[in-house]
């Protein structure tokens, strides 16, 4: 069972790592909400497999779910920034 500090560390690490930063940047590249969410989720999944050395046995499902969720949320925020900030 994962402890609360491990959970908070995982969420914070993902926000400050690829799913958060790259997800935000990818979300700002499009105005399509679904495409932004899909790209953010893909970044979260790819980051989890990258740091696990592409070994499925090393990937924990809670880490994969949190990374994908953070990627989707960050890219949605990026898409919202694009919608509100765009004047064209």
Of 10-14, 22-26, 63-67, 84-88, the least confident: 84-88
Complete DSSP assignment for 2-69: --HHHHHHHHHHHHSSHHHHHHHHHHTT-S-HHHHHHHHHHHHHHHHHHHTTT-GGG--HHHHHHHHH
Structure tokens at 64: 């994969």
Question: pLDDT, tens digit, for every residue of 22-76?
Answer: 999 999 999 999 999 999 999 999 999 999 999 999 999 999 999 999 999 999 9
Residue 81 has pLDDT above 70, yes or no: yes
């Amino acid at each position: 069972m994962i402890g609360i500090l491990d959970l908070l560390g995982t969420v914070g690490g993902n926000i400050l790592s690829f799913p958060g930063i790259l997800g935000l940047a990818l979300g700002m590249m499009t105005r399509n909400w679904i495409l932004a969410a899909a790209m953010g989720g893909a970044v979260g999944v790819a980051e989890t497999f990258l740091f696990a050395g592409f070994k499925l046995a090393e990937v924990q499902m809670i880490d994969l779910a949190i990374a994908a969720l953070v990627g989707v949320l960050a890219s949605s925020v990026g898409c919202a920034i694009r919608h509100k900030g765009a004047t064209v």
